[in-house]
Structure 1
Amino acid sequence: MSLTAGILAGAAGTTALDVAGYLDMVVRGRSASGLPAQAAGRLAERAGADLGSGEAADSRREGLGALLGYATGLGAGGLYGLLAGDRRVPLPLAALGLSAAAMTASVAPLIALRLTDPRDWNASSWVSDIVPHLAYGLTAAAAYDRLTRP
């Protein structure tokens, strides 16, 4: 049950992350990040997968980038479920832990692929990354708590 609850909580958290990110785009008029698509392209290349060329390849990279984001959110939630099990973790601690785990899991591959370096990020870039991940963590933690409450 805890793995399933964690995955479901991760899905709720991923929805919150997406909503926060899209609201940020609306409020500040910023464009979507191209990093997920770039990462998907590099990973596909390393795996020897041919994504085609031109607009079709661009679309496949964008789709794969988004799917990798969902996998990250569901995976972080599932891992939390396995680690937390039936224990009652205080909501603030669970939310911070889930936020940090999801942010690390999403940024670490980008760093490893040399697509970004957080040391070069400005304050706006940090806010654009931290706020949605906090929304993820809080939502996932609350959902997990609700799903596993006796």
Structure 2
Amino acid sequence: MNLTAGVTAAAAGITALDTVGYLDMVVRGRPASDVPAEAADEVAGRAGIDLGHGEEGDSRRTGLGALLGYTAGLGVGVLYGLLPGGRRPALPLAALGLSLAAMAASDIPLAAAGVTDPRRWDAASWVSDLLPHLAYGLTTAVVYDRLTRPGRRRGRR
């Protein structure tokens, strides 16, 4: 178990996910998704919290939506770090597993809340969701491996 490595690796993975997502916006000229803000609105509403109206409310929804995404990504890293046993799956399998876990951690609650319906997504929507999560999984797996590989001392290659 290595909670610190899991959180650290997930933070790097979140950075990779955001980078790929923003690059997609730049390359294809697509707007930012409204889904995180809608999820924030749903979560706040269920908790009995009024996020407000106008620009201030929109800013709260945007911020809370991003924080919900970070929570999902960090949560996946925490769970990965807490897996028992000293051996992890091979890097490609770990990367794929972490990618799928991160997608599930974000998409299943959104679908369950009725914020989105992946069954209705077109191919471009699936690619926009899949590629950033693959970047998350690969980065998280590589960083975790580098942080926990036995016999490696810092600063040596």
State the TM-score, normalizing by the size of structure 2.
0.92
Question: In structure 2, what residue type is equivalent to 1:146?
Answer: R
For 1:111, the equivalent position in structure 2 comes to 111
C-alpha contact 1:6 1:77 (8 A) present in aligned 2: yes
Which whole-Å deviations, capped at 9, do the CAs of 1:17-36 have from their partners, x for residues lacking one? 00000000000110110100
Instruction: Identify the residue that residue 42 of structure 1 maps to in structure 2.
Output: 42
- In the alignment, the residues of structure 2 paired with residue 51 and residue 27 of structure 1 have an alpha-carbon distance, to the nearest angstrom, of 32
2:21 is matched with 21
Give yes or no for contact 1:86–1:148 (8 Å, CA) kept in 2. no
- Whole-angstrom distance in 1 between the partners of 2:76 and 2:46: 24
Which is richer in helix?
1
CA RMSD of aligned residues (A): 1.1
Q: % of aligned pairs identical?
A: 71
Instruction: Determine the structure 2 residue equivalent to 1:128.
Output: 128
CA distance in 2, matches of 1:4, 1:85: 16
| Count of residue pairs brought into register by the alignment | 150
- Match of residue 93 from structure 2: 93
Give the gaps of 5 or more residues in structure 1. none
What SS does structure 1 have at the residue aligned with 2:99?
helix
In the other structure, the counterpart of 1:148 is 148
Extract unaligned runs of 5+ from structure 2.
151-157
Which amino acid counterpart does residue 51 of structure 2 have in structure 1? L
- Structure 1 CA distance for aligned equivalents of residues 102 and 84 of structure 2: 16
Residue 67 of structure 2 corresponds to residue 67 of structure 1:
yes
What does the per-residue CA deviation read over 1:4-48, in whole Å, with 9 as the maximum and x for residues that have no partner?
A: 110111000000000000000000110110100100011101101
Letter in 2 for 1:113: A
How many angstroms apart in 2 are the aligned matches of 1:144 and 1:34? 31
CA contact (8 A) 2:99 2:138 kept: yes
> Measured at CA, do residues 87 and 22 of structure 1 come closer, stay the same or move farther in structure 2, by a change above 3 Å?
same
Contact 1:2 1:85 (8 Å CA) reproduced:
no
Contact 1:9 1:141 in 2 (8 A): yes
1:87-145 deviation per Cα after TM superposition (whole angstroms, max 9, x unaligned): 13200010000000000000011101111111111110000000000000000000000
Q: Note the C-alpha offset of 1:147.
A: 0.6
Deviation at 1:85, TM superposition (A): 4.8
Q: Which has the larger radius of gyration?
A: 2
Cα distance in 2 between the residues matched to 1:133 and 1:16 = 9
Q: Which runs of 4+ in 1 moved over 3 A?
A: none
> Residue 7 of structure 1 aligns with which residue?
7
